[in-house]
């Protein structure tokens, strides 16, 4: 979709006169007033300095003058002022409304606590009014976030278009002016926490859940089922507001004044830089694969460091993957990791406090001994750091459902390889802290992840099932399922390209736009807002690039409203029955939320693209410019453009025809897919691993897979024995052994030997593939066909020779 179309379709009624006039600014760029110049002439400024205007391949155009630039900059400045003023006024309005709601909530809670026996407290209607007011504030925050995001993208798009069309570079100067009026930098994190607190009080009718919100202690060792998703920056605010409706924001220290640094989480991952055994173990998900990391919450001055070990368990073992950890003082980390301080010395002082049962101290000490032994024996050292800001949603003290959203995810090198001393002899590098975006680091030391990471954690120990609203959330257009995504794996794969040869399966997906059209009536809904307010029909526009990272504003906080899915007519035809079966299957555990992407049908149109290409856009611009020039230039450009368009159309039709012949009849979408995603076509993309590297596709291997391969081999062996028995009978038990019976027996013997050899080779291939966890094709295409054909030939020859022997023909 082009950005102009995106802007027109996303206009909110309240803001319709305050959006950037993208169409008007784009039209201004076509009103150059200078003399006509040939395309192969380089542009010059008024002082004679050469510009970097690109050559126009022989076509003529009017020169962009200083007066044109002044006019355009003045209009762009006025658009920036308009957007900035609206954003400031709306932010003040939301803040005041929230303050008023806070006073009302405090008043109603005080009345509830001070009510006398026999007297009625606040009515249900009063709570409902407060809940509606807070929901309206939530919707306002969401609308403001969308308004800011679209305008931020619009300014960068028009700057990019200006520099490309005129050759004058406005972007560096105007970026500074945007920083002076930073409508895109308003941080709503504190507002989100306050909204969450108030909404939780009202939703629970003045009785919010109480419990321990500490980041350690009770959350140390537990079994849980975790599903992971990517969230595009455009959807982060809305996603947070949706979760806010069901789970409160978890604040670790409610007595402390809120600080953004308190949401920062940093982890240091260890591995052997020669073998990368922890990396490959976690990537291949082998039984018992471990990850060892040191984690702290908040800034660099935090004294409590958590030493953690994550252990992967295969399903067939009957066990669940477990995260275990213990805390240690920061000043003791180096001596502990180097083996200079034994675990007994660490826990002696903790035992004296008596804050935990002695059994927990014993368990933590055993864990500390095992981790220390592994680090020293296998030569583990710091290799990678992950940093992000986490917004956690959870009822305090209740681990049954926990949702976390990690934004500003950054991966950094911690190793001392390549002659660079990053961490040195210390357990972490000290030249950086929590100062995102870490602009002081060289590009080779850092990877800024383009998406937020959503984790849905269900505590399986308590037999907890996934709530219905969570199922709707993770099947919506706001998230992209990425099963088994790992920050550690991604960081190593990106930061060590020369040393890592086996890449995770999601790497090719990094170049694909994960945004999807809304296929469900899901999200924040407000009937008073119109869908569109634009009237322009101009189709010449910038494409809405997914790879334009600078056209994304810094993330704000947001809220959202959950609405039932009712927008798909095709789904509603049988939606009730399908949805019931789907919910039942998920309740029974037969559908894995992480594997739901496997239910999507494959697209048969490989030529489908989400956005039009730069080449097509440039052709439209050349044709428009040639039309203004006229004459032979216009007709020459017109013929060239039409010829290229016809060639692309013919190639597309040919690919479609070949694809239809090759793929045959279309397979209808699975009913689960329709229930979750509607009838939207799924985009597919072919990819190839970089030279010298491989993409590892995870394969689940259970013991029964080995037994299945062995049973198949024994079945083939049984058939071979039967055929060999027939051959032996024909050769040795005839009344008068003849040359004919010998030939027929030889044919059956040959078939038996071939079947035996084929079964042995197939069994060895399958066993090796299973053992290596390869994504091999285990279906047998030729074996049964060969067996049946050979038997038909053998029986036919036997019948023919026997008939000839009896003189029947």
Residue 645 has pLDDT above 60, yes or no: yes
pLDDT tens readout for residues 417-458: 888 888 888 999 998 888 888 888 998 999 999 999 999 887
Q: Which of 411, 380, 386 is nearest to 495 (CA)?
A: 411
Tokens of 518: 């809304």
pLDDT at 806 over 90: no
Query: What's residue 315's pLDDT?
Result: 66
How confident is the model at residue 269, as a pLDDT? 95
Lowest mean pLDDT of 18-22, 262-266, 326-330, 802-806, name the range: 802-806
User: How are the residues of the chain apportioned to helix, strand and coil, as percentages rounded to the nearest 5?
Assistant: 50, 10, 40
d(CA 262, CA 249): 13
Q: Is the dihedral angle over the CA atoms 268, 273, 276, 278 positive or is it negative?
A: negative
Q: Is the pLDDT score of 713 beyond 80?
A: yes
Could you give the C-alpha distances from 539 to 2, 536, 566, 617, 689, in angstroms and in order?
A: 8, 9, 31, 10, 37
The one catalytic residue in 26, 61, 157, 487 is 487
413-427 pLDDT, tens per residue? 999 888 888 888 899
10, pLDDT greater than 70: yes
Residues 719-744, mean pLDDT to the nearest whole number? 75
- Work out the number of other CB atoms within 10 angstroms of the CB of residue 612: 14
Is pTM beyond 0.85? Reply is no
Is 392:263 a contact under the CB 8 Å cutoff? no
The whole-angstrom separation of Cα 241 and Cα 792 is 68
What percent of the chain is modeled with pLDDT above 70? 70
3-state secondary structure of 294: strand
What number of CA atoms fall less than 13 Å from residue 117's CA on the CB side? Answer: 0
Q: Which segment of 368-377, 642-651, 652-661 scores lowest on mean pLDDT?
A: 652-661
In a 3-state reduction of DSSP, which class is residue 378? Answer: helix
CA distances, 239 to each of 232, 249, 392, 678 (Å): 10, 13, 12, 20
Check if the beta carbon of residue 384 is closer than 8 Å to that of residue 488. Answer: yes
Question: Which burial class, exposed, middle or buried, applies to 745 when counting CB atoms under 10 A from its CB (0-12, 13-18, 19+)?
Answer: buried
Give the position of tokens 């308003």.
Answer: 186
Per-residue CA distances from 288 to 278, 307, 371, 393, 771 (Å): 10, 18, 14, 30, 16
**Three-state secondary structure call for residue 704:** helix
Nearest partner of 755 among 786, 731, 778, 730, judged by Cα: 786
Are 33 and 67 in contact by the 8 Å Cβ rule? The answer is yes
Whether the predicted pLDDT of 791 surpasses 50: yes
CB contact set of 327 (below 8 Å; sequence gap of 6+): 216, 304, 305, 306, 307
Q: What is the pLDDT of residue 402?
A: 85
Q: How confident is the model at residue 36 (pLDDT cuts 50, 70, 90)?
A: confident
Asked whether residue 265 carries a pLDDT value surpassing 80, the answer given is yes
Q: What mean pLDDT is reported for the chain?
A: 75
Q: How far is CA 634 from CA 27, 622, 631, 644, 646, in A?
A: 20, 9, 6, 16, 18
Residue 608, pLDDT > 50, answer: no
Condensed to tens digits (0 to 9), the pLDDT of residues 286-316 reads 888 889 999 999 888 888 999 999 988 776 6
Where do the structural domains in the chain lie, given as residue ranges? 3-191, 209-507, 585-694, 703-805
Q: Indicate the pLDDT class of residue 57, thresholds 50, 70 and 90.
A: very low
What percentage of the chain reaches a pLDDT higher than 90?
A: 12
Q: Kindly list the distances between the CA atom of residue 365 and the CA atoms of 205, 228, 700, in Å, as whole numbers in the listed order.
A: 44, 31, 33
The confidence score (pLDDT) of residue 409 equals: 93
- Confidence at residue 595, expressed as pLDDT on a 0 to 100 scale: 35
**Structure confidence at residue 597 (pLDDT):** 34
Tokens 């794969």 belong to residue: 493
**152-171 pLDDT per residue, tens:** 888 888 888 888 888 888 88
Which of 121-125, 369-373, 419-423 is most confident? 369-373
Please check whether residue 272 is in contact with residue 278, taking contact to mean a CB–CB distance below 8 angstroms. yes
pLDDT in tens, 543-600: 445 445 555 555 443 333 333 333 333 334 344 443 444 444 444 443 333 333 333 3
Judged against a pLDDT cut of 70, whether residue 620 lies above it is answered with no
Least confident of 270-284, 334-348, 506-520: 506-520
pLDDT band at residue 773 using 50, 70 and 90 as cut-offs: low
**Which residue has better confidence, 139 or 488?**
488
In angstroms, rounded to a whole number, what is the distance separating the alpha carbons of residues 495 and 164?
33
Peptide bond into 437 cis (omega under 30): yes
* Helices 189-203, 236-244: inter-axial angle, 10-degree rounding: 30
Higher pLDDT, 692 or 707: 707
Q: Which pairing describes strands 694-696 and 502-504: parallel, antiparallel, or unpaired?
A: parallel
H or E segment and range at residue 136: helix 124-166
Beta-bridged to residue 261, according to DSSP, are none
173 contact partners, CB below 8 Å, separation of at least 6? none
Q: Residue 482 has which token pair? A: 């990425």
Give tens-digit pLDDT for 89-112.
988 898 898 888 888 888 888 888
**450: part of which helix (H) or strand (E)?**
none
What is the phi-psi region of residue 298: left when phi exceeds 0, alpha when psi lies from -120 to 50, beta otherwise? left
How many C-beta atoms surround the C-beta of residue 312 within 10 A?
A: 19
Of 560, 470, 528, residue with least CA distance to 135: 560
Question: Which CATH fold topology does 209-507 show?
Answer: mRNA Triphosphatase Cet1; Chain A (3.20.100)
**2: which DSSP letter?**
B
Catalytic site residue 2? no
pLDDT of res. 333:
92
E strands present in 350-509: 381-393, 401-413, 446-448, 452-458, 480-481, 502-504
- The pLDDT of residue 319 is 67
According to DSSP, the residues that pair with 390 across neighbouring strands are: 406
């Amino acid at each position: 979709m082009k950005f102009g179309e995106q802007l027109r379709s996303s206009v909110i009624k309240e803001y319709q006169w305050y959006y950037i006039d993208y169409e008007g600014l784009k039209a201004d760029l076509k009103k150059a007033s200078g003399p006509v110049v040939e395309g192969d002439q380089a542009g010059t400024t008024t002082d004679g300095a050469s510009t970097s205007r690109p050559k126009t391949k022989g076509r003529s155009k009017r020169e962009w003058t200083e007066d044109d630039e002044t006019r355009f900059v003045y209009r762009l400045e006025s658009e920036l002022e308009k957007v900035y003023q609206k954003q400031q006024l709306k932010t003040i309005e939301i803040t005041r409304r929230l303050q008023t709601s806070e006073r009302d909530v405090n008043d109603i809670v005080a009345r509830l606590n001070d009510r006398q026996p026999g007297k009625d407290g606040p009515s249900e209607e009063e709570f409902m009014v407060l809940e509606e007011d807070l929901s309206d504030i939530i919707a306002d925050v969401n609308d403001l976030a969308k308004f800011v995001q679209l305008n931020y993208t619009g300014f960068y798009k028009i700057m990019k278009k200006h520099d490309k069309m005129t050759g004058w570079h406005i972007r560096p100067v105007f970026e500074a002016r945007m920083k002076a009026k930073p409508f895109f930098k308003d941080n709503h994190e504190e507002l989100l926490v306050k909204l969450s607190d108030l909404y939780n009080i009202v939703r629970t009718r003045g009785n919010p859940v109480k419990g321990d919100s500490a980041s350690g202690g009770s959350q140390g060792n537990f079994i849980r089922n975790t599903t992971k998703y990517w969230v595009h920056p455009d959807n982060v605010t809305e996603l947070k507001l949706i979760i806010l409706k069901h789970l409160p924001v978890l604040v670790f220290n409610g007595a402390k004044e809120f600080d953004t640094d308190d949401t920062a989480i940093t982890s240091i991952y260890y591995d052997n830089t020669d073998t990368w055994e922890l990396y490959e173990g976690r990537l291949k998900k082998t039984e018992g694969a471990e990850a060892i990391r040191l984690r702290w919450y908040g800034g660099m001055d935090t004294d409590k460091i958590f030493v953690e070990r994550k252990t992967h368990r295969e399903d067939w073992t009957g066990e669940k993957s477990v995260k275990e950890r213990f805390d240690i003082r920061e000043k003791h980390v180096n001596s502990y990791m180097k083996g200079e301080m034994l675990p007994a010395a660490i826990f002696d002082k903790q035992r004296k406090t008596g804050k935990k049962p002695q059994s927990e101290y014993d368990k933590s000490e055993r864990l500390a001994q095992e981790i220390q032994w592994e680090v020293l024996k296998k030569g583990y050292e710091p290799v990678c750091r992950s940093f992000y800001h986490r917004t956690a949603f959870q009822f305090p003290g209740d681990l049954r459902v926990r949702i976390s959203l990690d934004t500003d995810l950054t991966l950094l090198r911690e190793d001392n390889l390549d002659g660079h001393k990053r961490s040195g002899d210390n357990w972490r590098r000290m030249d950086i802290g929590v100062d995102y975006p870490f602009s002081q680091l060289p590009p080779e030391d850092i990877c800024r992840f383009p998406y937020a990471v959503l984790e849905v954690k269900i505590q399986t120990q308590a037999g907890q099932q996934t709530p219905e609203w969570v199922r709707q959330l993770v099947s919506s257009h706001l998230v992209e399922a990425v099963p088994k995504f790992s920050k550690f794996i991604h960081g190593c794969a990106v930061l060590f390209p020369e040393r890592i040869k086996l890449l995770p399966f999601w790497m090719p997906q990094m170049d694909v736009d994960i945004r999807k059209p809304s296929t469900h009536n899901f999200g924040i809904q407000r009937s008073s807002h119109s869908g569109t307010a634009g009237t322009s029909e101009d189709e010449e526009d910038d494409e809405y690039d997914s790879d334009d990272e600078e056209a994304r504003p810094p993330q704000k906080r947001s809220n959202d409203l959950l609405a039932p899915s009712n927008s798909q007519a095709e789904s509603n035809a049988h939606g009730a029955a399908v949805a019931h079966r789907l919910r039942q299957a998920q309740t029974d555990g037969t559908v894995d939320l992480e594997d739901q992407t496997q239910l999507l049908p494959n697209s048969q149109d490989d030529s489908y693209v989400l956005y039009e290409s730069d080449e097509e856009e440039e052709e439209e611009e050349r044709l428009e410019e040639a039309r203004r020039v006229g004459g032979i230039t216009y007709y020459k450009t017109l013929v060239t453009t039409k010829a290229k368009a016809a060639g692309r159309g013919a190639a597309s039709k040919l690919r479609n025809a070949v694809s239809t012949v090759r793929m045959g009849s279309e397979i209808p979408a699975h009913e689960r897919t329709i229930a979750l995603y509607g009838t939207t076509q799924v985009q597919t993309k072919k990819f190839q691993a970089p030279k010298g590297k491989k993409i590892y596709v995870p394969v689940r291997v259970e013991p029964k897979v080995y037994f299945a391969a062995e049973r198949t081999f024994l079945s083939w062996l049984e058939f071979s024995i039967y055929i060999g028995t027939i051959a032996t009978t024909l050769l040795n038990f005839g009344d008068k052994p003849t040359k004919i019976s010998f030939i027929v027996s030889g044919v059956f013997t040959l078939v038996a030997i071939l079947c035996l050899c084929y079964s042995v080779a197939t069994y060895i291939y399958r066993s090796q593939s299973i053992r290596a966890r390869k994504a091999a094709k285990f279906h047998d295409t030729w074996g049964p066909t060969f067996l049946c054909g050979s038997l038909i030939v053998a029986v036919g020859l036997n019948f023919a020779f026997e008939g000839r022997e009896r003189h029947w023909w």
